[in-house]
Amino acid sequence: MSEWVYLQGDPSELLTQYHHFSMVKRQGSADVRFAITVREFAVPPPGQRVRFYAEADKPVNQKTASFVPCGWGSSIFAALGDCVRLIRQFPFEGEEGAGS
């Protein structure tokens, strides 16, 4: 565990470190770039038992049931892995409503 987590004086402060990743999803003849941010909380936020939360910058599956890929985990690897699996599993169906 890094030393920065000890700077949090109160759990309600939600002290967080951000980790940034990028991936390209090849879809047909197009490349779709996703930026993924993993938030590492000093202590798990209220209602959670794990410290890492990953979220992509745009939704997938827009024409059926649009959602933004994300993942929780006890490590960067676990949270990022869940998010990447969802990006791979569901199609990106265009910029319309993508919030890019």
Q: What is the DSSP string of 4-52?
A: GGGG-SSGGG--EEEEEEEEEEEETTEEEEEEEEEEEESSPPTT-S-SE
Q: Answer whether residue 94 is part of any domain.
A: no
Q: Spell out the residues 6+ positions from residue 30 whose beta carbon is closer than 8 angstroms to its own.
A: none
What tokens does 36 get? 């993924």
Confidence of residue 99 (pLDDT cuts 50, 70, 90): very low
- The whole-model pTM stands at 0.89
Q: Answer whether residue 62 is part of any domain.
A: yes
Q: Answer whether residue 95 is part of any domain.
A: no
- pLDDT at residue 33 is higher than 50: yes
Q: Answer whether residue 57 is part of any domain.
A: yes
- pLDDT at residue 95 is higher than 80: no
- pLDDT at residue 8 is higher than 80: yes
**Cα end-to-end distance, the chain, whole Å:** 33
- pLDDT at residue 2 is higher than 90: no
48: containing domain: 3-89
Where is 56: in which H helix or E strand?
strand 52-56
Mean pLDDT, residues 76-91 taken together = 98
What's the domain count of the chain? 1
Q: Answer whether residue 52 is part of any domain.
A: yes
